[in-house]
Chain A
Amino acid sequence: MGILDLTSMGEPQVDVKREIIGQLERLQDEIPEYCYQCAKCTSGCEAHRLLELEPHRIIALLKRGLIDEMVNSDIIWTCMSCFKCWERCPQKIAPVEILFLLKNYAVALGKQIPGNYTAALQSVLSKGLIQDVKTISTRTGETKSRRDVGLPEITKPVDPVKFQALISKMAVEKI
């Protein structure tokens, strides 16, 4: 007995699906099972035309429990988090939120984190901010620091060690 996706030989991961949907309901009360595949999300997806993200398909695969297919693909990392899919969904489903959870799940599984996410994470860990304070250029090509333009010192964690200890603990936490 059971269901098998013959194109990928994937079987529904019922438990993972339940866990992901469970996390979602605790946060927002948005229930993906109500999706009837009208594809309004994909019609208006900012990332679709350039990057082929299909939010309605993400929901369909989640409903089928084919989670691995998604977490093994870069497609989940193409969302621009514009929130239009959630805002306009006639069934109040939030594909963007599901994508966040799928990415979290991929990270937890130890999948490669693409692009600058690693750098940003490192930067937050060590300095508390996602990037270093910059010296910037004016329109006429001069370089200016915060002090040069009359701005006060930046605000950042006072005790980096304690702060780091806090964030490190989160690596194993789930919402």
Chain B
Amino acid sequence: MTKKTLVFYPGCIMQTEQYSYEISLREILPVLDIKLVDVEGFSCCGEPLKSVNRMITLVLSARNIALAESRNLDIFTPCPICNLAFRECKNILDNDDKIKEKVNGFLAEEGLTYNGISKVIDLLELLYDIVGLDYIKKHVKKPLDLKAAVHYGCHAIRPSEIGRSDDSEEPRKIEDILEVLGVEAPWYPEKLDCCGGLLNMNLPETALTKTGEKLRSIQEQGFDLLVDICPWCHRQFDSKQKKSGETVAYSLNLPVVYLTQLMGLAFDIPWGKLGFNLNLSPVNTLVEGR
């Protein structure tokens, strides 16, 4: 029985390189009776270009939402950055008819209209509020005995003014989900620190320093792994872990996985189906023997 059907908005980074996120999502959501609908024609959400021109960001977000709205479904945005862009776009357009009219004037070019009927749902809202912990628990077949550091990513929890799915200072949803999977996720001082990912646009070296510093302190505190939900953060922590270790002159070997991958493991889905071969951090220890 399908619990909810959603338009799937993958966003640029996930669909152009963060395949393990997309693979694991497409694997675990059907288990939880969530149906994803792929829609042709999406573009960038606009958030990475906010520094260049906010109007581009707004129109790109509105365009994508409008496309999804034509299916009469809510939109699932696993990438917190895309989610922020869409929610901010909704905040602006739903509260200001003048800007909405103007934006719709542009969208008419492609035959689209933004109406504001579709809700924008991120991963935490989907898993925690729509699916629910009890339902997730039902599907846990092989609890994982691990101690994880959790990284929410800045955009997932801030700015609360725009409306995020968890508390900006004391987010709990990932920890609560992990607890259901058998994973212990204690608080650590650097929990809310930024990965530096967005600096990749102009200061990639500094971005790597931020990434390396956070990874180092997590590794030093004896965590088994780092769990994240943002493709930008994951790109820093996993794909660029080696480089970031070199930048901060520290030997990093911390397994970094998407929450969705870990859920798949606990659901007893073979690790080969969860994109674990694509993690560049040393995740072998997590999957060996499974």
Query: Are A and B in contact, CB atoms below 8 Å, in the complex?
Result: yes
Residues of A within 8 A of B (CB): 26-28, 46-47, 50-51, 77-78, 80-84, 86-87, 92, 94, 96, 99-101, 103-104, 107-108, 113-117, 120-121, 124, 128-134, 136-140, 144, 146, 149-152, 154-159, 162-163, 165-167, 169-171, 173-175
Cα distance A134–B152 in the bound complex, in angstroms: 25
B109's partner among A50, A140, A152, A162 (CB-CB below 8 A) is A162
Contact A115 B56, beta carbon cutoff 8 Å: no
The answer to whether B116 has its CB under 8 Å from any CB of chain A is no
Cα distance A159–B161 in the bound complex, in angstroms: 36
Given A81-B198, A166-B107, list of 5 further CB < 8 A pairs? A80-B210, A124-B60, A130-B44, A134-B17, A175-B99
- In this complex, how many residues of chain B approach chain A with their Cβ under 8 Å: the count is 68
**B70 → A minimal CB distance (Å):** 13
Contact B110 A163, beta carbon cutoff 8 Å: yes
A-B contact pairs, 16 of them (CB 8 A): A27-B92, A78-B203, A80-B197, A81-B155, A100-B51, A107-B53, A115-B203, A121-B49, A136-B17, A139-B282, A146-B19, A154-B10, A157-B42, A166-B106, A170-B59, A173-B53
Contact B110 A159, beta carbon cutoff 8 Å: yes
The answer to whether B244 has its CB under 8 Å from any CB of chain A is no
User: Contact flags (1/0) for B80-108 with A, using CB distance below 8 Å?
Assistant: 00000000000010001001000000110
The answer to whether B275 has its CB under 8 Å from any CB of chain A is yes
Cα distance A125–B39 in the bound complex, in angstroms: 20
Contact B53 A170, beta carbon cutoff 8 Å: yes
A132's partner among B16, B96, B192 (CB-CB below 8 A) is B16
Cα distance A94–B275 in the bound complex, in angstroms: 39
A46's partner among B17, B56, B96, B194 (CB-CB below 8 A) is B194
Contact A103 B51, beta carbon cutoff 8 Å: yes
**B12 → A minimal CB distance (Å):** 4
Contact B194 A156, beta carbon cutoff 8 Å: no
B43's partner among A46, A82, A129, A169 (CB-CB below 8 A) is A129
Contact B52 A103, beta carbon cutoff 8 Å: yes
For A174, list chain B residues within 8 Å (CB): 55
**B30 → A minimal CB distance (Å):** 14
For B106, list chain A residues within 8 Å (CB): 166, 169-170
Contact B154 A82, beta carbon cutoff 8 Å: yes
If over half of A's interface residues share one DSSP class (helix, strand or loop), that class is named, otherwise mixed; here it is loop
**B81 → A minimal CB distance (Å):** 9
For A163, list chain B residues within 8 Å (CB): 43, 110
**B165 → A minimal CB distance (Å):** 14
- Name the residue of chain A whose CB is nearest to the CB of B169: A87
Contact B202 A128, beta carbon cutoff 8 Å: no
Which of B19, B107, B210 has the largest count of A CB atoms less than 10 A from its CB? B19
- Name the residue of chain A whose CB is nearest to the CB of B81: A81
A77's partner among B26, B51, B155 (CB-CB below 8 A) is B51
Contact A129 B201, beta carbon cutoff 8 Å: no
For B158, list chain A residues within 8 Å (CB): 82-84, 86-87
User: Contact flags (1/0) for B209-231 with A, using CB distance below 8 Å?
Assistant: 11000000000000000000000
- Name the residue of chain B whose CB is nearest to the CB of A107: B52
Known contacts A124-B44, A144-B278, A149-B23; decide if A175 and B202 are in contact (CB<8 Å).
no
- Name the residue of chain B whose CB is nearest to the CB of A162: B110
Cα distance A150–B283 in the bound complex, in angstroms: 21
Contact B277 A50, beta carbon cutoff 8 Å: no
Contact B16 A151, beta carbon cutoff 8 Å: no
Contact B41 A155, beta carbon cutoff 8 Å: yes
User: Contact flags (1/0) for B165-189 with A, using CB distance below 8 Å?
Assistant: 0001100000000000000000000
> Top 4 closest A-B pairs, CB basis?
A115-B202, A83-B158, A128-B43, A82-B194
